[in-house]
Chain A
């Protein structure tokens, strides 16, 4: 399967759940716009011909009638376009609301933009550069950050894009609906090789995707790699499980709200973890001292992703392990909690992720 130049076409391929809706809105807008453009063009040409100045026509008589103004017309041509465009507004807004709410059980993949390449990290450990393999008919959520400038992850066939910012995480999700290979473009200008920061999304059938994942990276799952980094950096010395350490307990913390020493509260998400590692003094959890040193310069953006995934794997507010859907049914953790948010049909366990770090801990 390769990305071959297509013959002449006006629409990119429809390869995601969003594509048909966006194309339908586009068609509506084209029809409305074409109608008004042609109406204006027709009026201009018709008036120019019908009212052209004829030889011998004298000085125009003073006019003060409906031909120099009409309140009814002014209202008509304000209200009708406003009505038609509010439909566009509402339709477009509903699409974006859909796009901004990734389904909870979406397959999570990390993307790091760097001048001028896309680095992709799968939870199961596999890594790719400028290529993204995803299964067809399954929700996929990309969590993205940049190592340098602003980039933008754009897949025209999916009709979606999102900026990739340094210093924070943005998300983008889609459900590929058609097996094939599609362009990835960086859509935010990022310097010299901006137009070379392109790649390919491969949408695979479920079976092909499992086979592809099975190749893995041999370095263990992302959460496992995160655990060894967690120990290596000494995090475990303070962030101990029972909550009596010098630092907050991270078990079950992800996704919950915590109170801060300044009286406000914050939801523990990717961006908060990142901030706490790089700028530990920024938001201190109430009841703890300002003792954590900064890890700025000691940890790469990819290392950060591993840590985040490890902390996620320590459980979230529902008690369900975030990466649980990638685990085999034999996982004792799962059998214990039994709160699986994912349908059985999605339990396609890759060989590389048979165990989680949590079960080793316990």
Chain B
């Protein structure tokens, strides 16, 4: 009914109902806060990308000719901190999750709008600490802050960087809390748990990890600050501490944090594949519960980062077998996504291309993860480029492609405009090819034995490093394109209808962009999720 409605000038929506910078900075609207996050995570991503480019430029030759060792160490540290804590962790939950969760459950806003705004401000304060570190001379500990290097030997600004991440952690905790309360308390009439979109299930599981895990890393980094600042011995044997204790505490959060990054992406992929196959996701309950299983088992595998760190072999055995078990829910998801397309009506629009790319890359990322879960294999592979390649397949191939799929999918809803179909497909192809060219050679480098975080390396590793750097430039191009055509679409894009993709969620049953209250009348849900038989015929756009 609303499809292809003619553009009406000055329709009231959340974007234009109030004007001025103050109306944005003091907003309580989850959709506006999502856009504040969108702008800030994009900025941090761009900055992290600059550092990634410096790394790949330096590694194009075996000698350390572009940067000095200390500079190189600061560059990869900054790349890691910015990408992990300031892009990947908040990326989907704080932008798409913030925007969509109330809309998907038929609510007017999150449960605590002011806390939602507060978490953005906390994120910004954490970011300012990190930028301060960057501008005053950097930090060279790696994003992992291993002790006693970070507490007693690093000559960078460890305290400021640690505090930045400590502060930023509270932003995650508050977002998770807000989501959980909202999902429990604010669902529209008739929207039972098993009618929820899988995106909401994924965010529910993610929020649980944020609330339970983030305090641990916050406290751990605080202990690092105490030891470095006041020589209170926790980790450095010189003060009577235990250096491996830090690794246990750090990975107790940072391994589940991987699932904070990937679960929301999985939620996006479930929505996108279903929509562009016009078919209910295959094995809905299996996909939903696999998110919960990942969140639970994700907390029990941290020790697989410590196989060679002097951990008892019996502890290693337990962590190894649990790591295999946590891989199974991910495998279930991949097979279910593929099966969703079976007997569907598949349309290869841009979000779908990104989603299919996600499945391919995440499969490789997951499978190489099980190499590292195997004790004897991990001894050879850990701390080499194999690990670097593995987690980039999961973090970039998985989390980032899921984010891009989601941004392209909901862009018409968020801004009411379509983007260039052609350019966006070119970008999806470039990202896929560039990504593989960048990171696949790193698996081979890793097995050859090239350690990670090496500024200079023996000449026999050069061939693969050159391939990787070449791939990085293709990847960079593929990532710059969306910034251009998406920005261009804000003014010049075709006006989007309420439901341009023929999707089923509640968010598509209100105007694009939505009004501030999201819905004219609170929707009442009477059917299962993903019932495509009730949809209008899709008018192809773009």
> Which A positions have Cβ atoms within 8 angstroms of B?
5-12, 18, 21-22, 25-26, 29, 32-33, 36-37, 40-41, 43-44, 47-48, 51-53, 57-63, 67-70, 73-74, 77-78, 81-82, 85-86, 88-89, 91-100, 115, 148-150, 152, 154, 156-157, 159-163, 165-168, 170, 183, 185-196, 198, 279
| B149 and chain A: residue at smallest CB distance | A149
Question: Which residues in window 264-322 of B have CB below 8 A to A?
Answer: 277-286, 307-310, 313, 316-317, 320-321
**Is B52 in contact with chain A by the CB < 8 A criterion?**
no
- Contact A192 to B140, CB < 8 A, known contacts A40-B334, A183-B458: yes
| A60→B279 contact, CB < 8 A | yes
**B364: contacting residue among A37, A81, A190, A192, CB under 8 A:** A37
Chain A nearest CB from B274 CB (Å) reads 10
| B375→A93 contact, CB < 8 A | yes
Chain B nearest CB from A61 CB (Å) reads 6
**B360: contacting residue among A44, A61, A68, A198, CB under 8 A:** A44
| B359→A40 contact, CB < 8 A | yes
| A190→B149 contact, CB < 8 A | yes
Looking at B280, B313, B335, the one whose CB has the most chain A CB atoms below 10 A away is: B335
| A77→B451 contact, CB < 8 A | no
**Is B373 in contact with chain A by the CB < 8 A criterion?**
yes
| B329 and chain A: residue at smallest CB distance | A78
A71 vs B343: C-alpha distance when bound (angstroms): 18
A68 vs B281: C-alpha distance when bound (angstroms): 6
**Is B378 in contact with chain A by the CB < 8 A criterion?**
yes
A290 vs B316: C-alpha distance when bound (angstroms): 37
B282: A residues at CB distance < 8 A = 67-70
Question: Which residues in window 326-350 of B have CB below 8 A to A?
Answer: 327-328, 331-332, 334-336, 338-339, 341-348
**Is B363 in contact with chain A by the CB < 8 A criterion?**
yes
| B376→A96 contact, CB < 8 A | yes
**Is B448 in contact with chain A by the CB < 8 A criterion?**
yes
**Is B460 in contact with chain A by the CB < 8 A criterion?**
yes
- Contact A85 to B370, CB < 8 A, known contacts A57-B345, A191-B73: yes
| B449→A73 contact, CB < 8 A | no
**A48: contacting residue among B149, B321, B346, B378, CB under 8 A:** B346
A248 vs B447: C-alpha distance when bound (angstroms): 49
| B309→A53 contact, CB < 8 A | no
| B367→A154 contact, CB < 8 A | no
The interface size of chain B toward A, counting residues with CB under 8 Å, comes to: 98
Interface of B, secondary structure class, is helix
| Per-residue contact bits, chain B 430-471, to A (CB 8 Å; 1 contact, 0 not) | 000000000000001001110111111111100100000000
> Which B positions have Cβ atoms within 8 angstroms of A?
64, 69-70, 73, 140, 142, 144, 146, 148-149, 152-154, 236-238, 240, 243-244, 277-286, 307-310, 313, 316-317, 320-321, 324-325, 327-328, 331-332, 334-336, 338-339, 341-348, 356, 359-360, 363-364, 367-368, 370-371, 373-380, 382-384, 444, 447-449, 451-460, 463, 531-533, 535-537
Additional 4 contacts, C-beta under 8 A, given A62-B533, A191-B73, A191-B154: A33-B370, A41-B360, A150-B149, A185-B449
Show 6 residue pairs from A and B whose CB-CB distance is below 8 angstroms, ordered by the A residue. Answer: A51-B343, A92-B373, A93-B376, A154-B451, A166-B237, A189-B146
| A92→B460 contact, CB < 8 A | no
A163 vs B142: C-alpha distance when bound (angstroms): 17
B236: A residues at CB distance < 8 A = 166
- Contact A166 to B243, CB < 8 A, known contacts A12-B447, A60-B279, A68-B280: yes
B456: A residues at CB distance < 8 A = 195-196
| B332 and chain A: residue at smallest CB distance | A78
Q: Which 5 pairs of residues, A with B, have the shortest CB-CB distance?
A: A156-B449, A95-B376, A167-B237, A92-B374, A96-B375
